[in-house]
């Protein structure tokens, strides 16, 4: 089983990973603080404080690097101690971490730190629910490009923490020939022929029925997206394919249907909701 694309391109702790985190945190803090935190300015400038972050519900925790960067960008001497590891499952009212540092910095960084942690933990938690639902099958859970603008790579990282895998990271990262591309090219064969001129690039084509699947296989497709296929059609597709191409199911996927889809024998299932329909994990920070 291959590593998720994000893990390949941005190994945790690498220069590329750290640069991504710091850039996103810098942008978030600038958006929130702007010309200055007027409320935090009411606190004496050299005051120190101790803060704790607590989870209010069961969750897979993700985003520690973003939290650390939020506090350290405002107070390079802040001390941050995590009591759980990235990717750990926590219970309601569990103590996650403590931060000691300049009181103004802790107050100014609080909202951005919690925003990252709540959002990324939500993605990891939701992804893990799907991964757990299909446990024991050969199928992988994948994300899509249905992500929050500006935070795609962070969300794709969270998918990997939750046990999922990444579809292409972006449009530059691979070819996915969809219905409109096929229409513009003329037909499936023409679309694939043009795509296959690109060397060392992943190529996937979307089909909407078994006839189109046959056309794609005849044209040499090695990765095929089965769009909105019924369970019966998915099973037939697996039988027709006989392992020739990588098959990915998409559409009408939820926690109630995902197990049955996986049991048809498809290789992958892409789920847009794990990054699109997110509900922030309930966390809180308290300062003493």
Strands 268-270 and 140-142 come out as: parallel
- Tens-digit pLDDT profile for residues 5-14: 899 999 999 9
Domain with CATH 3.20.20.70 in the chain: 136-276
- Tens-digit pLDDT profile for residues 50-70: 999 999 999 999 999 999 999
pTM: 0.94
- Residue 1's pLDDT is what? 45
Which residues are designated catalytic?
Answer: 111, 146, 178, 206, 227
Domain with CATH 3.90.1170.20 in the chain: 5-131+279-287
CA distance 68 to 66: 5
- Residue 229's pLDDT is what? 97
Q: Which CATH architecture has domain 5-131+279-287?
A: Alpha-Beta Complex (3.90)
> What is the fold of 136-276?
TIM Barrel (3.20.20)
In this structure, are residues 258 and 23 in contact, taking their beta carbons and an 8 Å threshold?
A: no
In this structure, are residues 208 and 182 in contact, taking their beta carbons and an 8 Å threshold?
A: no
Give every residue of the chain whose pLDDT is below 70, as ranges.
Answer: 1-3
- Tens-digit pLDDT profile for residues 190-225: 999 889 888 888 999 999 999 999 999 999 999 999
CA distance 249 to 230: 10
Q: Which two tokens stand for residue 67?
A: 């939290």
């Amino acid at each position: 089983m291959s590593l998720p694309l994000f893990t390949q391109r941005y190994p945790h702790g690498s220069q590329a990973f750290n640069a991504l985190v710091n850039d996103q945190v810098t942008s978030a803090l600038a958006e929130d603080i702007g010309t200055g935190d007027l409320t935090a300015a009411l606190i004496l400038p050299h005051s120190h404080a101790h803060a704790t972050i607590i989870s209010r519900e069961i969750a897979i925790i993700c985003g520690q690097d973003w939290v650390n960067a939020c506090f350290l960008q405002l107070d390079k001497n802040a001390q941050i101690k995590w009591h759980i590891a990235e990717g750990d499952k926590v219970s309601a009212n569990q103590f996650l971490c403590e931060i000691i540092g300049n009181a103004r910095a802790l107050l100014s960084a609080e909202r951005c730190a919690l925003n990252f942690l709540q959002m990324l933990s939500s993605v990891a938690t939701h992804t893990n629910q799907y991964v757990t639902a299909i446990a024991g099958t050969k199928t992988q859970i994948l994300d899509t490009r249905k992500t929050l603008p500006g935070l795609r790579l962070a969300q794709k990282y969270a998918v990997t923490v939750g046990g999922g895998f990444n579809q292409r990271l972006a449009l530059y990262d691979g070819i996915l020939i969809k219905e409109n591309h096929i229409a513009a090219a003329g037909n499936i064969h023409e679309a694939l022929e043009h795509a296959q001129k690109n060397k060392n690039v992943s190529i996937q084509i979307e089909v909407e029925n078994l006839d189109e699947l046959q056309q794609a296989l005849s044209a040499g497709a090695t990765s095929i997206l089965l769009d909105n296929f019924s369970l019966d059609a998915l099973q037939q597709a697996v039988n027709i394919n006989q392992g020739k191409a990588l098959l990915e199911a998409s559409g009408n996927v939820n926690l109630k249907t995902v197990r049955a889809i996986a049991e048809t024998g498809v290789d992958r299932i892409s789920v847009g909701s794990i990054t699109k329909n997110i509900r922030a994990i309930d966390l809180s920070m308290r300062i003493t």
